[in-house]
Every structure is written in structure tokens, then in C-alpha cells.
A and B are shown apart, each in its own frame.
Chain A
Amino acid sequence: MTAVGIDPLSLENFSIAPTWDGSTLRIAFSGNADMDARAPLEAFVKRLNVQVLAAKLKRVVCDMRGLYFMNSACFKCLVQWIDAIVKSEVEQQYTLNFIKNPKMAWQARSLESLRHFGPAIVHIKIEP
């Protein structure tokens, strides 16, 4: 459990590992986010948003480099997450910094599609 009280999510082929380094909450996605991951991911994202708002964090880093597949149902969860942030009070809003894997073209396309739902809060980066 991190400083903002987020438990990791671990399924057979998909996992989410939150880490807290004292200033930044980093959420590492890995594996295969298919239909089996949809419901746990949706619940995770809802809990995460509540915790981040309560902790008044201003930034969450989503490391997608270990994620090799995410279906549209799971992307819908991310869209809903972004929509929830956008619809919250301005002073409560926080940014989502997605770190993409440059070797996976689908990540660039899908994340770019996500960015349209919150251009001000969604950022897409590449990290070594």
C-alpha cells in the first residue's frame, strides 16, 4: 500500500503496481488488459481517483510501457477516469502523465485518442 492508500492489482495476466516516492504517485500497468481485467480495472480506477482527490495530488504518472494489450472496454475505464477528473472542481484536477512504449504503435494511437477527452490534463511522454 502506498502513501495514498492504493493496493496493487494483480490478475493472472494483468497487474497494476502503484508506487509512491514521496512526491509522485506512479501507476505501472503491465500484461494483457482484456475482458477479464475490465471490472477490476474499473474498480481500481474509481478507488484511485477518490484517493488521489483526497490526497490532493496534482499529478499521477501512468507507466504503460509493460502493457502489451488493452481492449476497448478497458480503455473505456480510462476514458471514464479522465472524464471524472475533468468534471471535478478545477482546483482538484490533477494531470495524468502517460508514459508510452515507443515500440508499440497502438499505444501512441490509443493514448492520443484518450488525450482528446482531456487535452489539458492528459500528457503523453516517452521515457527511456
Chain B
Amino acid sequence: MAVRGRGRAREVGEPNTTRQLGVRAFLFVILCLTSALPVALLGMSHASRLVKDRVEAVDKQLAASGQATADQITLMMLDSVHAAESFADEVAARRSLSFDALSSALRAHTAHHPHLIGAYVANARGDALIYRSVQSELAPGNGINYADRDYFKEVVKTQRAVISRALMGRFTHTWAINVVAPIHDEQEQFQGITCSSVDLRGISERARRAISALNDGRIVVLDADGRVLADSEDSENLERRDVSKMSLFAPASIGKPLLRLAVDERGRAMRGVAIGLGQPVEGWRVIALSPQATIDDQAAQVRWQALLLAVVLIFAMMGLSARIAAWLARPLQSLAASAAAVVVGEFRALPTPPKNAPREVTRLFHDLDRMIERLGAYTGELEQEVEARTSDLTRANQELRRAEQLIHEDIEQARRFQERMLPVVEPRGVDLATAYFPLERVSGDIFDVCELGDGRLRIFLADATGHGVQASLRTVALKSAYDRVKLLHQRPQELLFALNERLVADFPGGELLCASACLDLRFGQQRIDVDYVNAGAEPLYVFSAEAGARAVYTSGPLLGGSRVSYPEAKQFELLPGELLLVASDGLVEQMNARHERFEDRIGTLRLQGSASSFLSELMLAFHEFRGTTKVRDDITLIALKTS
């Protein structure tokens, strides 16, 4: 049941809350959403930031390591060039290229520059004059010629100090680079060269130290031709490694670290920083590298750590949310329990405010206490009032039942009275039957059959408007008026005229307006002559075993409407064996579900047996015809069958 009011329709009854969350669960969900979700989002954002920072840190470390290595190599090579030039000046100052003259200079040179793994002096034709390596003492040239060396040709051509490509030293038998300076005499004539060998393993060692802070880091130093001079991962076998065609090791700008992502000569994805070197080793570059896999592993580790921290925080927030939800829900649960108790009529279960509750909640509990107390008081008063009203209502119902019983008894008396008004006649030699079916307990129909003094039989049927008690009262007045005049007039039209005059005079408002029919029957030897006057009633029907049924009708004004005259009686005769049916409109006007009138069915009835059995058959046919359609009016039937 829905009660309408302002806003939505309110459903009355027990609400279906099986699918709804409890207040604690509801608050828990809300708090979790408002606390854990931001933590999760912040954790994801922070993890992303940490990963980015980690990659940037690797890039910075690569750049720093590479730059440090580049600076050290540049300084070392500048120092080596200066050393070679100083050594050449020292040789020139001795004005002799004899072994003895060169010995002290070479010894001092190698002693002052311990990073050199060897040095030699050659004349202008490239013949070695003296050499020294870290593994040996001073030794003569022994016919070794360096004129075929590119660096010798370069020095002869440029008359300036040069740095060779990496090559295998003929004295040192070591993969090294040579720093070569020309020897000029006082007339600036080219006398020969000094050559100092720098061990490339030393550069690799510097690179290894520079990159040691970076896990899996690698520094590769390449010359201008892209040949590997040093490698922090592998300082051996440098002579066979040419990586000049790999994009990772391409030339780089001087002083501008350049980030590169490419594959190294071993097929590993690397993240690197390339730094170009300046004079005196222009074209050299230092490539500081870190495997991308290592960086990815570190990033994943950072991400997992951040995620783990976020999960821990989320669980912590959920725990905190559960505690807060329980704390917040407690007052509401208490209030709900009190409301539920009030619903079942328990007004003594007053809610208790939780400890440390906010001021408004405590106030709410206090107010609710007062509300429940007042509600209990009102309910008590209401129950008393209902009890009193129920008692009054019970008394009223009893009085109504008594009154109804009285009315029922009155109507029953009226019904018996109305039945007593009906004639009990058994005219001699005539098969006469009547049937009387009030729609309610009393009828709006009335009829009379009386014998006139000259042997005639007079039949009168009237149907007052309406039915029930008010119609039955009209029949009493009508019957009374009829009884006064029924024997005073010889002809039926005179009788109806007189009756109408009386009714109009007594009831000028038309209260007794009714349809009626009056017939006088005169019995002969072989037939019955009928004088028939109609006052708005339904037709008569004459049934014959041989000829079927026929309607007999004459028109005339209703009784009790106004002062009118009635037409002459219609005369017809009944032959032996025929049956005359006089019926009120309740019979012929009855309809079925198809809105057909029983009037159209009457003609199909067959005459069988006595007048009484005919009426029984007629009513059977009537009820069969109407089916479930209600009977709509009182029914009165008068059947007269001639013998």
C-alpha cells in the first residue's frame, strides 16, 4: 500500500533492507574510499616519480663518471705531450744523439713520468737510437726503424708533437699510444723524434675507478677512428675491437654530454652518455654506459618498494577507517535499535549516548529520549482513546445491527402484507396460475383477479415505477385505489379512467405513475372473449399448441401521469386449449449479455401442460436466456389456459 503525500510515495510496511549496507559497513566503505584511494593514487604517483628520479640519477652519474674520465684522459694526454716536448728539448740541448748523451735524458724522462711504459729516441731517418721500457733498462736501437709509422710521417710533415693511434709497441710489446715530439737543433733543423708510450691499461683503470660507483656501469674510451682505447669492463684485447659503426659509439660534441639509448657491441640495450674530448686528443670520446636492464630492474625495485609502502598505508588507513566507522556508527546503531523498539511499542528502551560522543550527538540522544517519552505518553493516551472509540463503535454497531434487524423485520412484514394483498382465486372451470418474483424482498408489481357479478373475470396488473420498498409502498396505494373502483365500472377503459382520475387527484406530482393492463374475460361455450385496455404495459401473449404464440397489444397512456382518456378496449378471443399470458415488464425487458431482450424469445416457447407448468417452463427459459446477467426488475406472471 502506498500513501501519497508531498514528495515520493512512501511505502508502508516492513522495508526490505537485505541488500542494503549497515551503517558501519557504509561508513567503512566511505572512509576507505576517501582515505585509501588518495593514498593509492599518491603511491602510484610517487612510485612513478621515484622511477623517473632513479633514471635521472643514473644519467647524472653516467655523465659525471664520463666527464671525470674525459678530464683525466685530457689532462694525462696534455701532460704526456708536454713531457714528450720537454724530452725533445732536453735531447736537443745535448746537441748530440749519441747513446751516452741520450741515456741520462731518457732515464730522467721516464723517471719523472711513471705513467709512461716506455720511450725511445729516433733520428731523422726513423732509426731507433735508444729506448727504455718499464720491463728493461736503457738499450740501443738495434736497427729498428720507425719511418713506416704514421706518427713519424705526421711529425716529419707537421714538425709538431702528435699522438699516435693505438698500436702494439715494438719495444714495450704493449697495446699503447705514443706521444711523439720533434727534435730540432738550434737552426730549427729536424733531427729526430722522441716517442713516449702511454699504457692504455692505465686509462682503462681510471675508467674503472670512475665508473665503480655505478652498478654494472661501463666506460669506453674511443679514439677519433672509433677504435676502443680503453674499456672499464675489459682492458685486454683492445686491438681487435672496432665499434666505429655502432650508433652508441658515434662521435660526440666536446663538453656537451649527449644521452644515447642503443645496443652495444655485445647486443645489450644500453643507456649511455657520450662526451667528446678536446685538444690534444680531439675526436676521442668517452662513452659512459649502464645496461638498460639494470636500470629497469632498479626502477622496478623502486616501484615495488613504493607500491609496498602504499599497500601498507592502505591497510593502515582501512584499519583506521574501520575504527572510525565503528565509532561513528555506534550512536546511529543505538538510535536505530531504539527506533525499532518504539516500532514494536517498547517505549522504555531509551538510547544511551556513547562515551566521548560529540556535543550534537549527545544532544540528539537527549532530545530523542524526550521524544520517546512523549511518544509513549501519546501512545498511551491514543490507546485509551482507541479503546473508548472501539467501545463506542461496538455499541454503534450493535445498535445498527438491531436497527437493521428491525428494518429487516419491517420489510419482512411488508413482504407478507404485500403477499396478503394478492388475490387467492380459483375461478371455476378455469386453469389459472400466477407467479410473483420481487427483485428484492418486496415488489413494485401488483395484480388482482376478481370475478364480476355477471360471471366475468377481471384481471388487473400494474407496475409502479422502480422497485424495492418505495415501489412497494406505491403498490399499496395503487391496490387500495384499485380496490375502491374495481367493481364499480363495467368496462375496463372506464375502470382505468376512473382509477387514473383518482390517482392524479391524490398524487398530482405523478408519484403513482405506473404501467398497467386491465382485461375482462367473458366465458362462452367454445371460447373466451377478452376486452383488453392497456396503460403503457407490455403486450399480452396468446399461446396455442397449433398456431404457436402471438402478441396482442393496444396502446394507452400510463396511469397516474395526467388527466387523460383511455381508448376503447381491444377485443379478442381465446379458443379452447389456448393460453393467455399477462406479464409485467420485468419479464419481457430482461436482457442477456448480448443486449437481446427476452421479448424476442417468448414467441419461440411451446405450450405444454397446465398453466402452472407453463409458467415453470417459462421461468426456466427466462433464466437460461439471461445467463449471468442480473434480473433487472420485479416479475409478475398471470397465465390462464382455456379448457
Give the B-binding residues of A (Cβ under 8 A). Answer: 34-35, 68-69, 71-73, 75-76, 79-80, 83, 86, 105-106, 109-110, 112-113, 115-117
List B183-198 residues whose CB lies under 8 Å from chain A.
Answer: none
Interchain CB contact under 8 A, A86 and B466: no
List B contacts of A113 (CB < 8 A): 515, 535-536, 555-558
Interchain CB contact under 8 A, B513 and A76: yes
List A contacts of B564 (CB < 8 A): 116-117
Known: A72-B513, A113-B555, A116-B556. 4 other contacts (CB 8 A): A79-B561, A105-B599, A106-B589, A116-B564
Interchain CB contact under 8 A, A73 and B466: yes
Chain A residue at minimum C-beta to C-beta distance from B595: A68
Q: How many angstroms between the C-alpha atoms of A80 and B465 in the bound complex?
A: 13
Interchain CB contact under 8 A, B510 and A79: yes
List B contacts of A75 (CB < 8 A): 465, 536, 558
Q: How many angstroms between the C-alpha atoms of A41 and B86 in the bound complex?
A: 143
Q: How many angstroms between the C-alpha atoms of A71 and B471 in the bound complex?
A: 13
Q: How far is the CB of B573 from chain A (nearest CB, A)?
A: 22
Q: How far is the CB of B169 from chain A (nearest CB, A)?
A: 127
Interchain CB contact under 8 A, B556 and A72: no
List A contacts of B513 (CB < 8 A): 72, 76, 79
Interchain CB contact under 8 A, B465 and A73: yes
- What sequence of 0s and 1s flags, for each residue 135-170 of chain B, a beta carbon within 8 Å of any chain A beta carbon? 000000000000000000000000000000000000
Given A113-B556, A116-B556, A116-B557, does the pair A72, B515 have CB atoms closer than 8 Å? yes
Q: How many angstroms between the C-alpha atoms of A29 and B595 in the bound complex?
A: 17
Given A34-B632, A72-B465, A117-B557, does the pair A109, B514 have CB atoms closer than 8 Å? no
Given A79-B510, A116-B564, does the pair A110, B466 have CB atoms closer than 8 Å? no
10 shortest interchain CB distances as A-B pairs: A116-B557, A113-B536, A112-B555, A73-B465, A72-B465, A79-B561, A76-B513, A83-B562, A76-B465, A73-B466
Q: How far is the CB of A29 from chain B (nearest CB, A)?
A: 15
Q: How many angstroms between the C-alpha atoms of A34 and B589 in the bound complex?
A: 11
Q: How many angstroms between the C-alpha atoms of A29 and B463 in the bound complex?
A: 24
B553 touches A (CB below 8 Å): yes
Given A34-B632, A69-B591, A83-B561, does the pair A109, B510 have CB atoms closer than 8 Å? no
Given A34-B632, A35-B466, does the pair A86, B562 have CB atoms closer than 8 Å? yes
Q: How far is the CB of A42 from chain B (nearest CB, A)?
A: 11
Q: How many angstroms between the C-alpha atoms of A94 and B556 in the bound complex?
A: 22
Interchain CB contact under 8 A, A80 and B510: yes
Q: Which of A80, A83, A109 has the largest count of B CB atoms less than 10 A from its CB?
A: A109
25 contacts between A and B (CB under 8 A): A68-B595, A71-B633, A72-B463, A72-B466, A75-B465, A75-B536, A75-B558, A76-B465, A76-B513, A76-B558, A79-B562, A80-B510, A83-B561, A86-B562, A105-B599, A106-B589, A106-B599, A109-B539, A109-B555, A110-B536, A112-B555, A113-B536, A113-B558, A116-B555, A117-B561
B585 touches A (CB below 8 Å): yes
Q: Which of A75, A79, A86, A115 has the largest count of B CB atoms less than 10 A from its CB?
A: A79
Chain A residue at minimum C-beta to C-beta distance from B553: A109
Q: Which of B466, B561, B597 contacts A106 (CB 8 A)?
A: B597
Q: How far is the CB of B127 from chain A (nearest CB, A)?
A: 140
Q: How far is the CB of B290 from chain A (nearest CB, A)?
A: 95
List B534-586 residues whose CB lies under 8 Å from chain A.
Answer: 535-536, 538-539, 553, 555-558, 561-562, 564, 585
Interchain CB contact under 8 A, B466 and A79: no
List B444-490 residues whose CB lies under 8 Å from chain A.
Answer: 463-466
Q: How many angstroms between the C-alpha atoms of A109 and B599 in the bound complex?
A: 13
Interchain CB contact under 8 A, B591 and A72: no
Chain A residue at minimum C-beta to C-beta distance from B600: A105
Q: How far is the CB of B446 from chain A (nearest CB, A)?
A: 14
Q: How many angstroms between the C-alpha atoms of A80 and B560 in the bound complex?
A: 11
List A contacts of B557 (CB < 8 A): 113, 116-117
Q: Which of B515, B557, B564, B589 has the largest count of A CB atoms less than 10 A from its CB?
A: B557
List A contacts of B633 (CB < 8 A): 71
List B contacts of A69 (CB < 8 A): 589, 591
Q: How many angstroms between the C-alpha atoms of A118 and B510 in the bound complex?
A: 15
Q: How many angstroms between the C-alpha atoms of A76 and B514 in the bound complex?
A: 8
Q: How many angstroms between the C-alpha atoms of A72 and B585 in the bound complex?
A: 9
List A contacts of B595 (CB < 8 A): 68
Q: How many angstroms between the C-alpha atoms of A61 and B443 in the bound complex?
A: 35
Chain A residue at minimum C-beta to C-beta distance from B444: A72
